[in-house]
Amino acid sequence: MIAPHNKSRSHHMHSENQKIGFQIIAATLARFVLNTARRFAYPFAPALSRGLGVPMTAITSLIAVNQITALSGVIFGPLTDRWGYRRMMLAGMGLMILGMWIGGIFATYLSVFLAMVLAGLGKSVFDPAIQAYVGKQVPYQRRARAVGMIEISWAGSSLIGIPLLGIMMQWAGWVSAFWILGGLGVLCLIGIYRILPGDTYHGAGTVSIATMFNNWRSLVRNRPALGAIGFVFFISVANDSLFVVFGAWMESAFGLGLASLGFATAIIGVAELLGEGLTVMLSDRIGLRRAAIIGATLTTAAYLLLVLMGQTLTMALTALFVLFLAFEFTVVTTLSLCTELHPSARATMMAGLYAVGALGRVTGALTGGILWTLSGWTTVCMVSAAINALGVLLLVWGLRNWKRTEDRASRGSSLI
């Protein structure tokens, strides 16, 4: 016979599980819209170029600025730790909504430029806040499951969001994308406001430059956090070095046209989705530290595999699939792990990861283009493998002798 107080405790835990589950669903949907708003200019650059009457270089410049907005996390991370997670999630959605409506109302190059900048800033505000929120609410033993569920919104934006947006743009014109994303953003903002609990302040309402500096200084002095940040930088350099030239390689090596390149990119999207799914299913069971190191090691091997399997199209696509599956598994597992590396400044930690990741992608894009021009595909793959391996060594160095500062096993959840 089960004691009444045990029944009551079980019922309370089930209720808490449901609440957290609904919160993660709301956050995932919001992030899905944000990711779609951030990424849709990539495949639809020609349509935007024609609609706005500007050259393609103007659109690619817009995309580059959109990427650089991730560096704003240097400011927004400490603000989030100070002002609260839900408050900053709402602010991030608000920036995206404002940008989309400006783009839709004015429909000029300047307004679209501003729209994409605001969408990028909105994502830079929202992402560290939701990751830090999950780090606070979800037990460490189930952290990867929750983070993996949220990260599915990244692959979902390329597999679902962008294709549906393309259908609407073909039917109602390119401007419709901005109105649709703005409207969906409002629904997500309302959902977050209603479903996520209110914030408590982590200090005074204002944040000084000295406070921000202290937050970042504490991060640099934390060896596990510093090792993880270096790791994310180097794996981002390695991945983008290859990603920016893989289309040119496949075109020159196998004579692929635009439609076939689109199919190859879709395969990468499927690999990313499976990588996120594997994180949900495996990383907590393996252990986040071990899973991140295994995933990063497999990613290094996959770069070398591309050299060995680049002779036929089928083999090349298979190797690319393995690479991006391993890479996405590594990234999402690392995000899950990093929510616990600096618990006193979680949002600062996550913002630091996103900022150095963006810096790594920019560095990788420049590096990959130069290597491709000077030496070709094999050199790109070999250099990416070496850079990725350097990142693995940094992670191992940072996590050596690391122990969690808090045991949350007693807060277990059967749902998350």
Mean pLDDT of 12-16: 61
Please give the Cα distance from 156 to 64 (Å, whole number): 22
* Residue 54 shares a structural domain with residue 167: yes
Length of the chain: 416
Is the predicted pLDDT of residue 4 greater than 50, yes or no?
yes
What Å distances lie between residue 387 and 293, 303, 307, CA to CA? 15, 10, 16
Q: At 108, is the secondary structure helix, strand, or coil?
A: coil
* Whether residues 168 and 24 fall in one domain: yes
Residues 243 and 275 placed together within one structural domain of the fold: yes
Residue 411 belongs to a domain? no
Least confident of 38-47, 110-119, 326-335: 38-47
Residues 330 and 223 in one domain: yes
How many distinct structural domains can be found in the chain? 2
Instruction: For residue 202, tell me if it sits in a domain.
Output: no
- Asked whether residue 266 is domain-assigned, the answer is yes
| Whole-number Å distance between alpha carbons of 244 and 369 | 7
**Whole-angstrom distance, CA of residue 82 vs CA of residue 211:** 9
How confident is the model at residue 91, as a pLDDT?
96
pLDDT digits over 274-307, tens only?
998 999 899 999 999 999 999 999 999 999 999 9
The share of the chain scoring above pLDDT 70, in percent, equals 87
> In Å, what is the CA distance from 210 to each residue of 75, 313, 346?
12, 55, 18
Does position 408 have pLDDT exceeding 80, yes or no?
no
Lowest-confidence segment of 4-8, 138-142, 156-160 by average pLDDT: 4-8
Q: Does a structural domain hold residue 351?
A: yes
Quote the pTM value.
Answer: 0.78
**Residue 98 and residue 150 in one domain:** yes
The pLDDT of residue 184 is: 98
Query: pLDDT tens digits for 178-198?
Result: 999 999 999 999 999 999 987
Which amino acid would we find at residue 404? Answer: R
My answer on whether 190 and 223 are in the same domain is no
Tokens 């903002």 — which residue?
A: 189
DSSP assignments along 28-64, one per residue? HHHHHHHHHHHHTTTTTHHHHHHHHT--HHHHHHHHH
Report the range out of 53-57, 128-132, 363-367 with the highest average pLDDT.
128-132
In this predicted structure, the answer to whether residue 411 has a pLDDT above a threshold of 50 is no
C-alpha 227/C-alpha 395 separation (Å) is 5
Which pLDDT value is given to residue 211? 61
Q: How many Å apart are CA 316 and CA 323, to the nearest integer?
A: 11
Look at residue 326 and tell me whether its pLDDT is greater than 80: yes
Residues 17 and 152 in one domain: yes
> Tokens at residue 343, please?
């618990």
Q: Within this chain, do residues 304 and 164 fall inside the same structural domain, yes or no?
A: no
State the pLDDT at residue 232.
96
Residues of the chain with pLDDT > 90: what percent? 44
pLDDT digits (tens, 9 = 90+) for 342-400: 887 888 888 888 889 888 888 887 788 888 889 989 999 999 999 999 999 999 999 98
Tell me, what's the pLDDT at 262?
63
61 lies in the same domain as 132: yes
What single-letter amino acid sits at 215?
N
> What is the distance between the alpha carbons of residues 335 and 148, in angstroms, rounded to a whole number?
9
In this structure, are 290 and 318 located in the same domain? yes
For the chain, the average pLDDT equals: 85
pLDDT band per the 50, 70, 90 thresholds, residue 141: confident
Give the pLDDT confidence score for residue 155 in this predicted structure. Answer: 84
CATH number at residue 230: 1.20.1250.20
Helical segments of 221-282, H only: 223-254, 258-278
pLDDT at 253 over 90: no
Range of the domain at 246: 217-401
Reply yes or no on whether the pLDDT at 27 is more than 80: yes
Higher-confidence position of 411 and 36: 36
State the pLDDT at residue 208.
57
Could you tell me if 276 and 32 are in contact, meaning their C-beta atoms sit under 8 angstroms apart? Answer: no
| 50 compared with 17, residue with greater pLDDT | 50
Q: What local confidence, expressed as pLDDT, does residue 219 receive? A: 73
- Has residue 412 been placed in a domain? no
pLDDT confidence of residue 243: 81
* 24, 136 contact by CB (below 8 A): no
